[in-house]
């Protein structure tokens, strides 16, 4: 995986964080991540834009139900409490992290 401010030719897939970063077909699979609502990026909510992409990852169920090109993407989010990793436990309101595994000593 490469992260670049401009597409690099010859990749298997290209993921664009918004439609405005699309620079034309490069030969791989083109994927659009639609993460902003229509009031923020109204230009992305247009079939003429969607036609350029093989898949569109979105947070919006209405689009996922519309067409197989659209796929739901979920991100972890804050729900009024701190989310903890499965290996953490809570004791008296404070997270407790287990000690690291014992270091092995070489002879």
Q: Give the pLDDT confidence of 45-61 residue by residue, as tens digits.
A: 999 999 999 999 998 88
Q: Where are the domains of the chain?
A: 13-72
- Is residue 57 a contact partner of residue 73, using CB atoms and an 8 Å limit? yes
Distance CA 74, CA 58 (A): 8
- Is residue 51 a contact partner of residue 74, using CB atoms and an 8 Å limit? no
Quick: pLDDT tens for 74-87: 876 655 555 555 54
Q: What is the pTM of this model?
A: 0.66
Which structure tokens are listed for 70? 């659209």
High-pLDDT (> 70) share of the chain, % = 70
């Amino acid at each position: 995986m490469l992260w670049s401010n401009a597409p690099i030719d010859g990749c298997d897939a290209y993921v664009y964080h918004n439609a405005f970063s699309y620079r034309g077909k490069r030969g791989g699979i083109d994927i659009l991540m639609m993460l902003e609502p229509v009031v923020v990026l109204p230009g992305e909510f247009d079939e003429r834009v969607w036609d350029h992409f093989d898949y569109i990852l979105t947070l919006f169920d209405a689009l996922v139900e519309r067409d197989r090109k659209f796929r739901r993407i979920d991100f972890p989010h804050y729900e009024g409490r701190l989310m903890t990793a499965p290996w953490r436990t809570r004791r008296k309101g404070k997270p407790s992290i287990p000690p690291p595994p014992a270091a092995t000593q070489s002879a």
